[in-house]
Structure 1
Amino acid sequence: MTTPPSTVPLWARFEHRLRSDVWYENPPQDASLAVTFTAPSGTRHVVDAFWDGGAMWAVRFCPGETGEWTYATDCSDASNGSLHAVKGTFRCTPAAGTSRFEAHGPVRASDDRRHLAHADGTPFFWLADTAWNGPLLSTDAEWDHYLHIRAAQRFTAVQWVATHWRASPGGDRNGATAFDGVERIHISPSFFRRLDGKVDAVNRAGLVAAPVMLWENSEDSAFPDSNPGHTLPEDQAILLGRYMLARWGANAVVWILMGDWRYQPHNAERWRRIGRGIFAGRPHGPVATHVRSRVFLADEFRDEEWLDVVGYQTGHSDEESFLHWIHSGDIARDWEKGRARVIMNLEPNYEDHISRHSANRFDAYAVRRACYWSLLNAPTAGVTYGAHGVWGWDDGTRPPVDHPHTGIPRHWRDALHLPGGAQMAHLADLFTSIEWWRLRPAPGLLAAQPGEASARRHISASMTRAGDLAVVYSPGGAAVHLRAAA
Structure 2
Amino acid sequence: MIKLRVSESKQHLETEKGETFFFLADTVWSAFTNATLEGWGDYLDYRKMQGFNVLQINILQQWDASESDLNIKPFEYKEDGSFNFYKRNDAYFERAEKMVAMAVEKGFVPALVLLWCNYVPDTWGSEISDVNNMPLELVEDYIKYVDARFSKYHPIYLVSGDTDFPTDRAIEYYSLALNTIKRLSPHCLTTLHIRGRLQEIPDAFLYSDKLDFYMFQSGHNAQFQNMTYKLAEEFSNKPVKRPSLNSEPCYEQIGYSRNLYGRFGQFDVRKAAWQSLLSGASAGITYGAHGIWSWHKKGKSFGLIGEAFDRPYDWKDALKFEGAWDYAFAKKIFKLYDLYDLEPLDIVLKNTEEIRAASSSDSTKIAIYVPVNTVLKLDKLLEDYEFTVIDLEYRRFGEADVSYEENRTIIDMHMFGSDVLIIGEKRF
Identity across matched positions, percent: 25
Match of 1:417 among 303, 320, 323: 320
1:422 positional shift: 2.8
Contact 2:5 2:13 in 1 (8 A): yes
Instruction: Name the counterpart of 1:304.
Output: 208
Instruction: Name the counterpart of 2:414.
Output: none
In structure 1, what residue type is equivalent to 2:368? Answer: V
Q: Secondary structure in 1 aligned to 2:323?
A: helix
TM-score, normalised by the number of residues in structure 1: 0.70
Contact 1:215 1:261 in 2 (8 A): yes
Instruction: Name the counterpart of 2:368.
Output: 472
1:305–1:387 Cα change, 3 Å: same
Instruction: Name the counterpart of 1:116.
Output: 13
1:410 positional shift: 1.3
Match of 2:349 among 447, 451, 460: 447
In structure 2, what residue type is equivalent to 1:236? Answer: L
In structure 2, what residue type is equivalent to 1:434? Answer: Y
Moved more, 419-428 or 168-177: 168-177
Match of 2:111 among 210, 219, 232: 210
Query: Counterparts of 1:222 and 1:169 in 2: how far apart (Å)?
Result: 18
1:283–1:430 Cα change, 3 Å: same
In structure 1, what residue type is equivalent to 2:256? Answer: S
1:482–1:410 Cα change, 3 Å: same
1:114 positional shift: 2.1
1:341 positional shift: 1.1
Equivalent positions of 1:114-263 (< 5 A) are 114-168=11-65, 173-178=70-75, 185-217=86-118, 219=125, 224-226=130-132, 231-263=133-165
Instruction: Name the counterpart of 1:80.
Output: none
1:221 positional shift: 7.9
Instruction: Name the counterpart of 2:273.
Output: 371
1:335 positional shift: 2.1
1:185–1:118 Cα change, 3 Å: same
1:111 positional shift: 2.2
Q: Secondary structure in 2 aligned to 1:347?
A: coil
1:257–1:170 Cα change, 3 Å: farther
Q: Which has the larger radius of gyration?
A: 1
Equivalent positions of 1:291-330 (< 5 A) are 291-297=194-200, 300=203, 301-319=205-223, 322-327=224-229, 329-330=230-231
Q: Secondary structure in 1 aligned to 2:237?
A: coil
In structure 2, what residue type is equivalent to 1:350? Answer: Y
1:479 positional shift: 3.5
Query: Counterparts of 1:169 and 1:177 in 2: how far apart (Å)?
Result: 16
1:475–1:168 Cα change, 3 Å: closer
Query: Counterparts of 1:261 and 1:336 in 2: how far apart (Å)?
Result: 21
1:448–1:374 Cα change, 3 Å: same
1:142–1:159 Cα change, 3 Å: same
How many positions carry a matched residue from both structures? 369
Contact 1:133 1:160 in 2 (8 A): yes
Q: Secondary structure in 1 aligned to 2:55?
A: strand
1:165 positional shift: 3.5
Q: Could you list the per-position Cα deviations for residues 249-287 of structure 1 after superposition, in whole angstroms to 9, with x for gaps in the alignment?
A: 111311111111133254434422331133236323111
1:123 positional shift: 0.8
Q: Which runs of 5+ in 2 are unaligned?
A: 119-123, 383-428
1:136–1:334 Cα change, 3 Å: closer
Q: Could you list the per-position Cα deviations for residues 344-387 of structure 1 after superposition, in whole angstroms to 9, with x for gaps in the alignment?
A: 11111111111126521110001101111111221510011111
Contact 2:140 2:177 in 1 (8 A): yes
Query: Counterparts of 1:251 and 1:172 in 2: how far apart (Å)?
Result: 28
Q: Secondary structure in 1 aligned to 2:125?
A: coil
Contact 1:183 1:236 in 2 (8 A): no
Query: Counterparts of 1:166 and 1:172 in 2: how far apart (Å)?
Result: 16
Equivalent positions of 1:348-387 (< 5 A) are 348-356=249-257, 358-387=260-289
Query: Counterparts of 2:63 and 2:19 in 1: how far apart (Å)?
Result: 37
Q: Secondary structure in 2 aligned to 1:472?
A: strand
1:293 positional shift: 0.7
In structure 2, what residue type is equivalent to 1:293? Answer: G
Q: Could you list the per-position Cα deviations for residues 198-248 of structure 1 after superposition, in whole angstroms to 9, with x for gaps in the alignment?
A: 00111122111111111114638875424xxxx123331222122112211
TM-score, normalised by the number of residues in structure 2: 0.79
In structure 2, what residue type is equivalent to 1:474? Answer: V
Q: Which runs of 5+ in 1 are unaligned?
A: 1-100, 452-457
1:297 positional shift: 3.7
Moved more, 180-189 or 145-154: 180-189
Moved more, 465-474 or 269-278: 269-278
1:482–1:399 Cα change, 3 Å: farther
Instruction: Name the counterpart of 2:406.
Output: none
Q: Secondary structure in 1 aligned to 2:110?
A: strand
